[in-house]
Amino acid sequence: MVDSAGNAAPSPEAEDPEPRELRQYMEELWKRIPDHARRAASIKPGASGSVEWYAAIGRFWWEERNRAGLSRYQVAETMNVDVNRVRFLEVGVADPHDLRNGFLRMYAGALERPDLIDEFSQRFRISIDGKQRSS
């Protein structure tokens, strides 16, 4: 491809993937928010499953990733998942299944901190196998 000045234009493959990924993220986020709000609407603020609870979970994993000195892209690549799954977790709109289906074990493994699963389970009173924990 050549632009109007006769210079070789970058191919679409050479474009920075981040704007495309961010568009995909925003589109998916707009789809997730109504479901997330509906799910959380009947739950007391701060209780398990509430908006605040999901936000705290996201903050937990975001802080741990930052402590490890890794980017979301590095974590996603290590986990072999789309970076948006990492973003959704960290901003507090994770798919509820991602809290119980091995995703968090992979995340902790990507941080080289498998011990985080126990800390997470205790703090948020949830076990990775899907059963609620008692206080």
pLDDT band at 23 (very low <50, low <70, confident <90, very high): confident
Residue 25: left (phi > 0), alpha (psi -120 to 50), or beta?
alpha
Single pTM value for the model: 0.74
Q: Does residue 90 sit within a domain? A: yes
Q: Does a structural domain hold residue 67?
A: yes
102 falls within a domain = yes
Confidence band for 80, pLDDT divided at 50, 70 and 90: very high
Query: What is the reported pLDDT for 29?
Result: 80
> Considering the domain boundaries, does residue 130 fall inside one?
no
132 within some domain? no
Q: How many domains does the chain have?
A: 1
Q: What is the CATH number of the domain that holds 106?
A: 1.10.260.40
Classify burial at 112, counting beta carbons within 10 Å of its beta carbon; exposed 0-12, middle 13-18, buried 19 or more: exposed
Residue 35 lies in domain? 17-124
Measure the CA–CA gap between 5 and 83, rounded to whole angstroms. Answer: 36
Single-letter residue type at 133: R
